[in-house]
Amino acid sequence: MNDMRIVERDVESSETKIAARKVQVYYGDNHAIKDVDVDIADKTVTAFIGPSGCGKSTFLRCLNRMNDTIDICRVEGDILIDGEDIYDKRIDPVQLRAKVGMVFQKPNPFPKSIYDNVAYGPKIHGLARNKADLDQIVENALRRGAIWDEVKDRLDAPGTGLSGGQQQRLCIARAVATEPEVLLMDEPCSALDPIATAQVEELIDELKQNYSVVIVTHSMQQAARVSQKTAFFHLGNLVEYGETGQIFTNPVDPRTESYITGRIG
Amino acid sequence: MSDAAMDTSGAAPQPTKSLMTEDARTKKRNASERRFRYYGIAAIGTGLFFLIALLTAILTAGIPAFRQAVVEIPFTMTQEQYDEAEAAMLKTGIYTGYFIDGLSAEMKERGVDIEFDKAAVDRLLGKVGGQLRAYYRDNEDQLGQPIGFEVAASSRVDRYLKGTFTRGDLVEGNRFFMPEDFDLIDAMRDAGIVKQVFNWTFITGVDTGVDNPGGAGIGASVLGSFFMMLVVLVLALPIGVAASIYLEEFAPKNRFTDLIEVNISNLAAVPSIVFGILGLAVFIQFAHLPQSAPLVGGLVLTLMTLPTIIISTRASLKAVPPSIRDAALGVGASKMQAVFHHVLPLAAPGILTGTIIGLAQALGETAPLLLIGMVGFVARYPEALIDGFLEPNSAVPAQIYNWAARSDAVFTEKAWGGIIILLLFLITMNTIAVILRRRFERRW
| Interface pTM, i.e. ipTM | 0.85
Residues B364 and B286 grouped into a single domain: yes
Residues B142 and B239 in one domain: no
pLDDT at B281: 93
Same domain, B192 and B272: no
The residue-averaged pLDDT of B267-285 equals 91
pTM for this model (two decimals): 0.79
- From B197, B227, B250, give the residue that closes a domain: B197
pLDDT confidence of residue B13: 66
- CA-based R_g, chain A, Å: 18
Q: In the predicted model, is pLDDT for residue B177 greater than 90?
A: no
B331, A124: Cβ pair inside 8 Å? yes
Confidence of residue B64 (pLDDT cuts 50, 70, 90): confident
Looking at the domain assignment, is residue B121 inside a domain?
yes
CATH number, position B289: 1.10.3720.10
Q: In the prediction, which pLDDT does B316 show?
A: 94
Is B132 found in the same domain as B95? Answer: yes
Q: What is the pLDDT of residue B304?
A: 93
pLDDT digits over B321-369, tens only? 999 999 999 888 988 999 999 999 999 888 988 999 899 999 988 899 9
* Interstrand relation of B67-76 and B146-152 (parallel, antiparallel or unpaired): antiparallel
In a domain, B57, yes or no: no
Nearest to A110 among B327, B334, B337 (CB): B327
Give the whole-angstrom CA distance, residue B395 versus residue B272.
16
Domains and CATH numbers, chain A: 2-6+13-260 (3.40.50.300)
On whether residue B81 sits in a domain, the answer given is yes
How many CB atoms lie under 10 A from the CB of residue B113? 10
**What is the number of alpha carbons within 13 Å of residue B70 lying toward its C-beta?**
17
Helices then strands, counting H and E runs in chain A, come out as: 10, 10
Q: What is the pLDDT of residue B5?
A: 46
CA nearest to B390, candidates B315, B297, B294 = B294
- B91/A contact by beta carbon, under 8 A: no
Of the CA atoms within 13 Å of residue A198, those in its CB half-sphere come to 3
Mean pLDDT of chain B: 86
Neighbours of A253 (CB within 10 A): 13
- Residue B198 pairs in a beta bridge with B67
pLDDT above 60 (res B395)? yes
Q: Is the pLDDT of residue B1 over 50?
A: no
Average pLDDT, integer, range B284-306 = 91
Judged by CB atoms closer than 8 Å, whether chains meet at B332 and A95 is answered as yes
The verdict on B125 and B174 lying in the same domain is: yes
Q: CB pairs below 8 Å between A and B: how many?
A: 68
Please indicate if any CB of chain B lies within 8 Å of the CB of A109. yes
What are the b/e assignments for B333-360, b being 16+ CB within 10 Å?
Answer: bbbebbbebbbbbbbbbbbbbbbbbbbb
C-alpha–C-alpha distance, residues B414 and B65, integer Å: 5
Cross-chain residue pair B443–A109, CB shorter than 8 Å: no
pLDDT band with cut points at 50, 70 and 90 for residue B319: very high
Query: From CA B32, how far away is CA A215, in angstroms rounded?
Result: 53
**Main-chain dihedrals φ then ψ at residue B153, nearest 5 degrees:** -80, 160
pLDDT band at B275 (very low <50, low <70, confident <90, very high): very high
Q: Are residues A66 and B334, on separate chains, in Cβ contact within 8 Å?
A: no
Say how far apart CA A255 and CA A49 lie, in whole Å. Answer: 12
Domain closes at, from B197, B228, B261: B197
B138 lies in some domain = yes
pLDDT band at B29 (very low <50, low <70, confident <90, very high): very high
Q: Which residues of A touch B346 (CB under 8 A)?
A: 111
C-alpha pair distances (Å), A212 with each of A67, A156, A243, B326: 20, 31, 15, 21
Taking the CA of residue B419 and the nearest CA in chain A, the distance in Å comes to 43
Same domain, B303 and B363: yes
- Is residue B339 located within the same domain as residue B381? yes
Shared domain check, B243 and B329 = yes
Q: Please check whether residue B364 is in contact with residue B397, taking contact to mean a CB–CB distance below 8 angstroms.
A: yes
CB contact under 8 A, B331 and A104: no
Q: Which residues of B touch A71 (CB under 8 A)?
A: 252-253
pLDDT at B4 over 50: no
Rounded to whole angstroms, the Cα distance separating A125 from B112 reads 89
| Residue B214 is assigned to a structural domain of this protein | no
Please determine, for residue B2, whether its predicted confidence score (pLDDT) is greater than 50.
no
* Same domain flag for B367 and B223: yes
Termini Cα distance of chain B: 38
CA nearest to A72 within chain B: B253
With b meaning 16 or more CB within 10 Å and e meaning fewer, what string describes B420-438? Answer: bbbbebbeebeeebeebee
Residues B178 and B97 grouped into a single domain: yes
| Residue B202 domain-assigned (yes or no) | no
Q: Is the pLDDT of residue B14 over 80?
A: no
Is the domain of B371 the same as that of B294?
A: yes
What parts of chain A have a pLDDT lower than 50?
1-4, 8, 10-11
Domain assignment of residue B207, yes or no: no
Q: Does A101 touch chain B (CB under 8 A)?
A: yes
Which of B247, B254, B331 best probes binding to A when mutated, by most A CB atoms within 10 angstroms? B331
Classified as helix, coil or strand, A215 is strand
- Residue B250, min C-alpha distance to chain A (Å): 10
Q: Do A110 and B325 touch (CB under 8 A)?
A: no
At B153, the amino acid letter reads: A
Q: What region, left, alpha or beta, does residue B388 occupy, with left being phi > 0 and alpha being psi -120 to 50 degrees? A: alpha
**Residue A52 near chain B (CB below 8 Å):** no
B442: contact with A, CB 8 A cutoff: yes
- CB nearest to B334's CB, from A64, A94, A121: A94
Of the candidates B321, B329, B333, the beta carbon closest to that of A66 is on B329
Highest mean pLDDT among A169-178, A191-200, B6-15, B433-442: A169-178
Give the residue from A198, A3, B444, A112 showing the smallest Cα distance to A188: A198
Average pLDDT over residues B221-236: 92
Kindly tell me if the per-residue pLDDT of B412 is higher than 90.
no
Q: Which domain holds residue B227?
A: 219-440
Q: Other C-beta atoms within 10 Å of B361: how many?
A: 15
Residue B277 lies in a domain: yes
Decide which of B197, B228, B257 is a domain's last residue. Answer: B197
Asked if B253 reaches chain A (Cβ–Cβ under 8 Å), the answer is: yes
**Cross-chain residue pair A160–B253, CB shorter than 8 Å:** no
The residue with greater pLDDT, A118 or B92, is A118
Shortest CA gap B316–chain A (Å): 16
DSSP string of A160-196, one letter each residue: GGS-HHHHHHHHHHHHHHT--SEEEEESTTTTS-HHH
**Domain check: are B378 and B436 in the same one?**
yes
Closest CA to B181 of B120, B240, B224: B120
CB burial readout B174-212, b (16+ within 10 A) else e: eeebeeebbebbebbbebebbeeeebebbeebbbbeeee
Half-sphere exposure of A28 (CA within 13 A, CB side): 1
Between A106, A124, A171, which is nearest B332 by CB? Answer: A124
Which has the higher per-residue pLDDT, A173 or B436?
A173
Q: What is the DSSP string of A67-88?
A: GGGSTTEEEEEEEEETTEETTS
Report the alpha-carbon angle B178-B68-B65, nearest 5: 100
Contact yes or no for B327 and A109 at CB 8 A: yes
Domain count, chain B: 2
